[in-house]
Amino acid sequence: MPELPEVEIIKLGLQKKIIGQRIKTIRILNPKTFQDSNGKPFKFAQGLRGQKVLNVWRRAKILGIDLSGDLILLFHLKMTGQLVWMKSENRFVGGHPTSDMLGNLPNSHTRVIFEFSDGSKLYFNDQRRFGWIKMSSKLEFRSEKFFEKLGPEPLEKGFSQKILKENLLKHLSMPIKVAIMDQTVVAGVGNIYASEALFLAQIHPGKKVGLLSDLEIKKLHKGIIKSLQDGIAYRGSTMTHFKDTEGKKGDFLSHAFVYRREGQKCKKCKLTIKKFKIAGRGTYFCPNCQDGVK
């Protein structure tokens, strides 16, 4: 599920809910999900007990929680991960869950449960079990190369056209869609927002990086930023799994130009949206609006 906008929505939700709370208990229902910094299942999660949540942050598609006691938790939700927060007694904020929301938790996909000092709980659910939580000390974290290779944050000032071009030029023969999903080129773009950004930039997803003009890179830079901002504004993309911290779906896909719109009319030119595969991933585009591979 989650690309940059979805993780951002979760970050904003958690900041409001858990900063200042202390961890009371942690239940690990799937040992593989909870790992040390080397990816080995963690055996000493009880070290978390009593630690206070100091901050919640995001880098690329990774969510971080800074704790007292020199500890850091990192979360990667991969395809189907969810972080859903509830007040005590498994009740949603705002009352009974609507059809947009989850049923009661834990469910069969709940892998880890954190309980906080006020009785609220944070459920890490993950149908496919690709997602992980890593725990390390701040000291260990600082010396880690974990984030070193990541490209720039596209919604921060450091993401200039110039940087995008420099990073793209390392991958001249790659289809542009694959290149912008490469986390070392730009951080946080995944399969949905890659298709959307390329539509906004009017570039065919299969066009080789080396064939892009400066104007196209300029439009792509804008398109990446715009699609991600819209993703956040509509509170993320839900195909089936993405939920925010209150269990609500995101609405971005009903505003998408191309993603999952195969056979439907282009919102700009009214011709038909097409789908094909690039590097094994479903890719959507408008053959009329997006420049071909010449």
Partner DNA sequence: CACTTGACCTGTCCGC
Partner DNA sequence: TGCGGACAGGTCAAGT
Point out which residues bind DNA (CB under 7 A). 1-3, 32, 60-61, 76, 78-80, 108-109, 127-130, 170-175, 178, 181, 183, 190-192, 237-242, 277, 279-282
CA 14/CA 47 separation, integer angstroms: 21
Query: Among residues 85 and 242, whose Cβ is nearest to DNA?
Result: 242
**Shortest distance in whole angstroms from residue 36 CB to DNA:** 15
Catalytic residue among 17, 61, 177, 248: 61
**Shortest distance in whole angstroms from residue 282 CB to DNA:** 3
**Shortest distance in whole angstroms from residue 146 CB to DNA:** 8
Distance of CA 89 to the CA centre of its chain: 28
Query: Among residues 18 and 60, whose Cβ is nearest to DNA?
Result: 60
Structure tokens at 190: 């995944």
Query: Among residues 121 and 177, whose Cβ is nearest to DNA?
Result: 177
61 annotated active-site: yes
Catalytic residue among 22, 27, 267, 281: 281
Which positions ≥6 away from 143 have C-beta within 8 Å? Answer: none
Count H helices, E strands: the chain? 6, 11
In terms of Cα–Cα distance, which of 142, 165, 155, 227 is closest to 191?
227
**Shortest distance in whole angstroms from residue 48 CB to DNA:** 23
Query: Among residues 9 and 67, whose Cβ is nearest to DNA?
Result: 9
152 annotated active-site: no
Residue with tokens 């196209």: 216
281 annotated active-site: yes
Catalytic residue among 3, 6, 196, 216: 3
In terms of Cα–Cα distance, which of 162, 190, 164 is closest to 178?
190
CA 178/CA 249 separation, integer angstroms: 27
| 148, 59 contact by CB (below 8 A) | no
Number of CB atoms found within 10 A of residue 133's CB: 25
**Shortest distance in whole angstroms from residue 242 CB to DNA:** 4
Query: Among residues 19 and 239, whose Cβ is nearest to DNA?
Result: 239
Active site residues: 2-3, 61, 281
